[in-house]
């Protein structure tokens, strides 16, 4: 079996792991031909530097085969420029994702209504969407799944008191990913916890995530 780390900013250097590293448009010099990436302008930085230039960089780099998605992109009400600015940069990146037919990896903090509106307004129905670092409750998780989102869970599932565990159990298995993001957790640890919680053998669980990975990234 192999692990799939859906979203990380670090190199884990662990064998048997497929990592999808998330880079900003400023970091594309780090891209190596034999590794997988998503690239995007994070909502926190949607006002920094020359946005037109960054969007042009994204347009070009997103054509590269090992840049398999656009992200992380999205909306954050607690940090970054005004929501209007964030929405504009988000919309531009959704258009790029649609043009190159690659999925989007979403960062969303306290802007769920706006996110859903953006999905309905800017998605022609062909895009795949995943919320990364999902920490909400089961009701919210099911709502998002119903709207077409995949959910990626991070180190919060290691906290046995976390309400996010109910979400992990509530959503269909075919909408699920695991990620280390920038935490110190290992992907193996996340797999073990999730598999146990869902009463799956490690092999069965790994097969489920692998299938989701292939569906989501159209591989």
List of residues contacting Zn ion (CB under 5 A)? 181
Task: Give kind and range of the element (H or E) at residue 16.
Answer: none
Least Å from the CB of residue 124 to Zn ion:
26
| Smallest separation (angstroms) from Zn ion to the CB of 182 | 6
Q: Tell me how far apart the alpha carbons of residues 90 and 106 are, in angstroms, rounded to a whole number.
A: 10
Smallest separation, CB 107 to Zn ion (Å): 7
Identify the CA nearest to 92 among candidates 124, 58, 116: 58
- We find the least distance from the C-beta atom of residue 105 to Zn ion, in angstroms, to be 8
Q: Which is nearer to Zn ion, 27 or 203 (CB)?
A: 27
Query: Minimum Å distance from CB 72 to Zn ion?
Result: 5
148 burial level (CB within 10 Å; 0-12, 13-18, 19+): middle
Q: Which CB, 46 or 195, lies closer to Zn ion?
A: 46
What's the CA gap between 193 and 44, in Å, rounded?
Answer: 31
- Listed in sequence order, the residues at least 6 apart from 202 whose beta carbon sits closer than 8 Å to its beta carbon are 1, 191, 192, 195
Closer to Zn ion at the Cβ: 104 or 195? 104
- Nearest distance, CB of residue 73 and Zn ion, angstroms: 11
For Zn ion, the closer CB: 19 or 181:
181
- Pair 62, 96: CB distance under 8 Å: yes
CA distance linking residue 173 with residue 157, whole number of Å:
15
Of 76 and 181, the one with the shorter C-beta distance to Zn ion is 181
Q: What number of other Cβ atoms are within 10 A of residue 207's Cβ?
A: 13
Q: Are 214 and 174 in contact (CB under 8 A)?
A: no
Q: Which residue is nearest to Zn ion (CB)?
A: 181
Nearer to Zn ion, 73 or 195 (CB): 73
- CA 156 from chain centre, in angstroms, equals 15
């Amino acid at each position: 079996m192999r692990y799939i780390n859906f979203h990380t900013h670090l190199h884990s250097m662990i064998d048997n792991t497929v990592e999808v590293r998330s880079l900003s448009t400023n970091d594309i010099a780090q891209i190596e031909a034999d590794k997988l990436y998503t690239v995007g302008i994070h909502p926190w930085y949607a006002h920094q530097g020359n946005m037109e230039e960054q969007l042009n960089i994204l347009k070009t780099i997103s054509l590269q085969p090992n840049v398999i998605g656009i992200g992380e992109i999205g909306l954050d009400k607690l940090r970054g420029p005004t929501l209007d600015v964030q929405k504009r940069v988000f919309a531009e990146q959704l258009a790029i994702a649609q043009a190159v037919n690659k999925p989007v990896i979403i960062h969303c903090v306290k802007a769920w209504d706006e996110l859903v509106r953006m999905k309905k307004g800017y998605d022609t129905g062909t895009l795949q969407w995943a919320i990364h670092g999902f920490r909400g409750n089961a009701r919210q998780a099911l709502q998002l799944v119903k709207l077409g989102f995949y959910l990626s869970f991070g180190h919060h599932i290691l906290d046995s008191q976390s309400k996010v565990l109910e979400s992990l159990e509530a959503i269909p298995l075919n909408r699920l990913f695991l990620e280390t993001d920038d935490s110190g957790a290992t992907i193996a640890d996340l797999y073990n916890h999730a598999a146990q919680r869902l009463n799956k053998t490690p092999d069965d669980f790994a097969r489920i995530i692998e299938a989701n990975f292939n569906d989501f990234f159209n591989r």
